[in-house]
Chains A and B, each alone.
Chain A
Amino acid sequence: MAADVHKKKSWEVPNGSLAPGDGQHTERSESPTPGLAQGTEPGMEHSSPRREARGGKSSSSCGLGPPQPCGRGRWAHSSPAGPAPTGCCGMGRGGRSPLHPSPSMGDTRTDAAWPVVPGAGQEGAMFVHTRSYEDLTSPEDGAAAARSPEERRGEPAEQSSMEQISKDFSELSTQLTGMALDLEEEMRPGKEGKLEPSPQTARRDSVLSGKEEEDVTMDAWRLHRKHVFVLSEAGKPVYSRYGSEEALSSTMGVMMALVSFLEAEKNAIRSIHADGYKVVFVRRSPLVLVAVARTRQSEQEIAHELLYIYYQILSLLTWTQLNHIFQQKQNYDLRRLLAGSERITDNLLDLMAHDPSFLMGAVRCLPLAASVRDAVSSSLQQAKAKSLVFSILLSGNQLVSLVRKKDQFLHPIDLHLLFNLISSSSSFREGEAWTPICLPKFNSSGFFHAHISYLEQEMDLCLLLVSTDREDFFTVSDCKRRFQERLRRRGVQHALQEALRTPFYSVAQVGIPDLRHFIYKSKSSGLFTSPEIEAPYVQEEEKERLLGLYQYLHSRAHNSSRPLKNIYFTGPRENLLAWVTNAFELYVCYSPLGTKAGAINAVNKLMKWIRKEEDRLFILTPQTY
């Protein structure tokens, strides 16, 4: 690990993105939860009664007030009587079951289904779709203005090569769908030929990893909803979600051919839509990430997930080291360095399929009485040390408290990566861990050292102390002790334990009969709240389907060329509403029996409820050391 630059203060690194990206520190530190920062709009934080009561400046009027359906744009809606879209991707093909997604994404869409969304099908009949990587995710990356799809269309190189691409692709898709038996044969020797695993790669074979090696020639392998591959630019396999990279080398070869063929600029995103699959390529030199998905996600969302995988790899190696390695040796086998971390990537992919945090780009808090949370935060704040940058207390994938160094901001993506690291390794339950970790959105060139431990054996409370000094183990370890002592002295341990017993709330608490579920995100804080997913979304597929619906709404609301502020969507199984303002995003799921008027009415009630509960559901008074 050549790139251990912990000594350098991260915030002095010229391109280190401290408060990720856009230099709005001042606005952030005034926001209700400045510990986390997202692409905030200056002055757009929601006005919380509590802040006003505490003498904070009353922020802009655009807040949690009653929604005005016509205020910010028209509600896009489909009439229940019309050719209603029945699911995420059922656009323009009424009656298709949401569980059986449209296989052809290249369909020309009839605008009739979305009267207020003309031109919604901007993907048109395109098979190859280039999108500048920049308009994807974070403020840092999103700084570059999104180009309209028209501008991107028809780059000559692609047009002329269309035939070749379809040919290559059909080759790839048959490999994945198992139509081409001869290819299957071709793959076999790779599997049977006795591989001499290096001690590093042996791990996956010799250890119960919870994920048995899959035979890539088996049907099951092809049926996975989303394959993810990472390769180096030289075409060496780095990671494969299912099955061993060795056995997949022929598939990887095809992909590499495709990538180099499609490749025009670095950091571009390309995708191919065909035959019920979307193949999305993200190139972030020196790596290429590929997803082959049968999900109904948009290409942007899939690319977003691939970026998470990329950041996940950076968090283990740093950008500096990754680049250094490949500069030294172009065909380096990165699996050596990533050996033992596959499960962390596996876990991240699973998490992204279930947890809306990633879609929202925000963090969920453990519901906790404000007085208890304040006591926890103060205890954490008092247990400080010079080298500490962040002290984070979490439970499952929910945040309990976060204390940061003044002027240092943690990006939700970095926090998600920390959540994922912890949830994918039970080894933190024993002893105290002390490990180098890179927070790529904070500073992708260096390592912090993180002290990770659970507070009590039986309690799901994990404490993460992020330090700039790798020599500081004992000091940081002592911070933990002091924190626990303060918690005890303040006598909040019992209340905390109680709260951990019910880490989720039921939507029934809101008291709106037709309301099934919702996600509310406060943009300025980078926090969101959402009740437990309950009936009828009991089964795993149903849960994923609901998340898929939200994904769809989200992608409609954030469509770079035609963003929608308000969406109302009726389907046979549920009605949905999305409302996106500069201050917040709200996604609501209702029973299919209600009306649009009723839905809007319910939003009023829901917003009032959230406001009433906000000091329990959010962190309104974040602390700095």
Chain B
Amino acid sequence: MAQTVTLGTSPEGPRPSYMYKVVLLGSMSVGKSSLAYRYVKSDFRELLPTVGCSFFTQILNLEEATVKFEIWDTAGQEKYQSVCHLYYRDAHAALLVYDIANKQTFSRAKLWLEELEKKFLPDEIVIALVGNKTDLAAEREVTTEEGEDFARTKGLLFMETSAKSNHQVNDLFMAIVQELLRREKEKASKPSPHGKVTVDLRASSTSTGCCRS
């Protein structure tokens, strides 16, 4: 990824700035795009299946840091599976999304995890398991406990959301950023061979379109 990752300070002051690549993975129709749309545009609308992948950016001004999210919302369709590695490569965080009203999508999320475990070391990536469409409680096929238990055994973050009724979508992304920042601190306290991932936000305002600053 030809990203200019330079050490810099945010325009607002001495707070550090970070750029994180977040990828959404999961079966078709589980609501990946709806989650991204809800988060980036604070809205919900009927979306059509994603073709290939959609890219969004979102800038968060937190007390401790400025964070720029690069969100890669992938298509769940099987024909795009073979290019998915392009989209998740070098990701800092991955959301494995399933539909709580469709058990098969939960199994698919588990398969995604297996694939990621092959490509990443545990401390390289933050993975969250996301059960979406909690508003469809009556049709639920995957219990909260099932999701929770699986996430716990695998050491994943876990959240149930509804893009439609705006349930915990923001919390989900906040949990991820908190985890990323926590790991950042951890790394800083230990001498690390990699150094910090920071980005000069002024220099990388390349993909505005959908930024909300």
Cβ–Cβ < 8 Å partners of B79 in chain A: 1, 316-317, 337-341
The answer for the CA separation of A202 and B3 in the assembled complex, in Å, is: 38
Known: A199-B102, A431-B209, A433-B54. A475 touches B82 (CB 8 A): no
Known: A203-B28, A339-B77. A430 touches B49 (CB 8 A): no
Q: Is B120 an interface residue (CB 8 A)?
A: no
Q: Are B49 and A203 in contact (CB under 8 A)?
A: yes
Q: Is B147 an interface residue (CB 8 A)?
A: no
CB distance from A384 to the nearest CB of B (A): 16
Partner of B206, one of A208, A337, A477: A477
The answer for the CA separation of A426 and B51 in the assembled complex, in Å, is: 10
In which size bucket is the chain B interface?
35 or more
Partner of B82, one of A2, A207, A336, A449: A2
Q: Is A425 an interface residue (CB 8 A)?
A: yes
Cβ–Cβ < 8 Å partners of B41 in chain A: 430
Q: Are B209 and A339 in contact (CB under 8 A)?
A: no
Cβ–Cβ < 8 Å partners of B53 in chain A: 433-435
Q: Is A470 an interface residue (CB 8 A)?
A: yes
Cβ–Cβ < 8 Å partners of A339 in chain B: 28, 77-79
The answer for the CA separation of A337 and B75 in the assembled complex, in Å, is: 12
CB distance from A342 to the nearest CB of B (A): 10
Q: Are B86 and A427 in contact (CB under 8 A)?
A: no
Cβ–Cβ < 8 Å partners of B1 in chain A: 471, 473-474
Nearest opposing residue in chain B for A436, CB measure? B83
Known: A430-B47, A453-B209. A436 touches B80 (CB 8 A): yes
Size of A's binding interface in residues, CB under 8 A: 46
Mask, A410-440, CB within 8 Å of B = 1, is 0000000000010011111011111111000
Partner of B49, one of A421, A427, A470, A478: A427
Q: Are B207 and A477 in contact (CB under 8 A)?
A: yes
Cβ–Cβ < 8 Å partners of B3 in chain A: 474
Q: Is A4 an interface residue (CB 8 A)?
A: yes
Nearest opposing residue in chain B for A207, CB measure? B29
Known: A336-B78, A481-B208. A435 touches B48 (CB 8 A): no
Q: Is A200 an interface residue (CB 8 A)?
A: yes
Cβ–Cβ < 8 Å partners of A473 in chain B: 1, 55
Cβ–Cβ < 8 Å partners of A206 in chain B: 29, 102
The answer for the CA separation of A4 and B27 in the assembled complex, in Å, is: 22
Q: Are A4 and B78 in contact (CB under 8 A)?
A: no
Partner of A425, one of B2, B51, B80: B51
CB distance from B93 to the nearest CB of A (A): 18
Partner of A1, one of B27, B46, B51, B81: B81
The answer for the CA separation of A482 and B70 in the assembled complex, in Å, is: 20
Cβ–Cβ < 8 Å partners of B76 in chain A: 340
Mask, B64-97, CB within 8 Å of A = 1, is 0000000001011111111100100000000000
Q: Is B8 an interface residue (CB 8 A)?
A: no
Q: Are A426 and B47 in contact (CB under 8 A)?
A: yes
Q: Is A343 an interface residue (CB 8 A)?
A: yes
Known: A431-B210, A434-B55. A199 touches B108 (CB 8 A): yes
Q: Is B50 an interface residue (CB 8 A)?
A: yes
The residue among A198, A436, A437, A471 with the most chain B CB atoms within 10 A of its own CB is A436
Cβ–Cβ < 8 Å partners of B36 in chain A: 431
The answer for the CA separation of A2 and B206 in the assembled complex, in Å, is: 32
Q: Is B56 an interface residue (CB 8 A)?
A: yes
Interface residues of B in 1-55 (CB under 8 A from A): 1-3, 27-29, 33, 36-37, 40-41, 46-55
Q: Are A340 and B102 in contact (CB under 8 A)?
A: no
The answer for the CA separation of A421 and B209 in the assembled complex, in Å, is: 21
Known: A428-B51, A477-B207. A340 touches B81 (CB 8 A): no
Nearest opposing residue in chain A for B27, CB measure? A199
CB distance from B23 to the nearest CB of A (A): 13
Q: Is B162 an interface residue (CB 8 A)?
A: no
Nearest opposing residue in chain B for A452, CB measure? B51
Cβ–Cβ < 8 Å partners of B51 in chain A: 421, 425, 427-428, 433, 435, 452
Interface residues of A in 202-256 (CB under 8 A from B): 202-203, 206-208
Cβ–Cβ < 8 Å partners of B2 in chain A: 474-475
CB distance from A316 to the nearest CB of B (A): 6
Mask, A490-502, CB within 8 Å of B = 1, is 0000000000000
Partner of A199, one of B28, B48, B207: B28
Q: Are A427 and B50 in contact (CB under 8 A)?
A: yes
The answer for the CA separation of A470 and B80 in the assembled complex, in Å, is: 13
The answer for the CA separation of A481 and B52 in the assembled complex, in Å, is: 21
Cβ–Cβ < 8 Å partners of A435 in chain B: 51-53, 75, 80
Cβ–Cβ < 8 Å partners of A475 in chain B: 2
Cβ–Cβ < 8 Å partners of A426 in chain B: 47-48
Q: Is B105 an interface residue (CB 8 A)?
A: yes
Nearest opposing residue in chain B for A433, CB measure? B54
Interface residues of B in 164-213 (CB under 8 A from A): 206-210
CB distance from A200 to the nearest CB of B (A): 6
Q: Are A477 and B55 in contact (CB under 8 A)?
A: yes
The answer for the CA separation of A340 and B47 in the assembled complex, in Å, is: 13
Cβ–Cβ < 8 Å partners of A470 in chain B: 83, 86
CB distance from B173 to the nearest CB of A (A): 16
The answer for the CA separation of A198 and B27 in the assembled complex, in Å, is: 11
The answer for the CA separation of A456 and B132 in the assembled complex, in Å, is: 30
The answer for the CA separation of A339 and B78 in the assembled complex, in Å, is: 7
Mask, A1-20, CB within 8 Å of B = 1, is 11010000000000000000
Nearest opposing residue in chain A for B207, CB measure? A477
Q: Are A427 and B47 in contact (CB under 8 A)?
A: yes
CB distance from A335 to the nearest CB of B (A): 10
Q: Are A478 and B206 in contact (CB under 8 A)?
A: yes
Partner of B54, one of A203, A421, A431: A431
The answer for the CA separation of A431 and B56 in the assembled complex, in Å, is: 5
CB distance from A463 to the nearest CB of B (A): 11
Cβ–Cβ < 8 Å partners of A200 in chain B: 28, 77-78
The answer for the CA separation of A203 and B105 in the assembled complex, in Å, is: 12
CB distance from A367 to the nearest CB of B (A): 28
Nearest opposing residue in chain A for B33, CB measure? A427
Nearest opposing residue in chain A for B81, CB measure? A1
CB distance from B89 to the nearest CB of A (A): 9
7 smallest beta-carbon distances between A and B, as pairs: A435-B52, A1-B82, A340-B77, A431-B54, A431-B56, A340-B49, A432-B55
User: Interface of A with B (CB < 8 Å)?
Assistant: 1-2, 4, 198-200, 202-203, 206-208, 316-317, 336-341, 343, 421, 424-428, 430-437, 449-450, 452-453, 470-471, 473-475, 477-478, 481
Q: What 9 additional pairs, Cβ within 8 angstroms, besides A425-B48, A433-B54?
A: A4-B82, A206-B102, A340-B28, A431-B209, A431-B210, A433-B53, A436-B80, A437-B52, A449-B52
User: Interface of B with A (CB < 8 Å)?
Assistant: 1-3, 27-29, 33, 36-37, 40-41, 46-56, 73, 75-83, 86, 102, 104-105, 108, 206-210
Q: Can you sample 19 A-B contacts with CB below 8 Å?
A: A336-B78, A339-B79, A421-B51, A427-B50, A427-B54, A428-B51, A431-B36, A431-B40, A431-B73, A431-B209, A433-B52, A433-B53, A435-B51, A435-B80, A470-B86, A471-B86, A474-B206, A481-B206, A481-B208
